[in-house]
Amino acid sequence: MKNTYLTLILCIFYSACYWKPFPDEKYVFDKKFRDLVDCYKIGDTMIFKSSTNIIDSFVITNIRVYIN
């Protein structure tokens, strides 16, 4: 049982070392999309369903208003 925990901890540690953060450029949306979600505020949850029926939810934690 100790070997299982040790293996699990090592896997988590190594995966964290190779984690690549999502680039900030991917968070820049055009004006049409910003107008669509303008009614939301911090704390709201947005739910998206993909064409393959995968459902993801996102909690709005910060709103920065700037245009690149």
Taking alpha carbons only, the member of 60, 57, 56 closest to residue 44 is 60
Q: pLDDT at position 56, please?
A: 93
Band of residue 23 on the pLDDT scale cut at 50, 70, 90: confident
Q: What mean pLDDT, rounded, does the chain reach?
A: 80
Least confident of 19-23, 42-46, 49-53: 19-23
- Higher confidence at residue 10 or residue 59? 59
The structure's pTM equals: 0.38
Q: Under a CB-based contact definition with an 8 Å cutoff, are residues 48 and 58 in contact?
A: yes
Q: Where are the domains of the chain?
A: 22-68
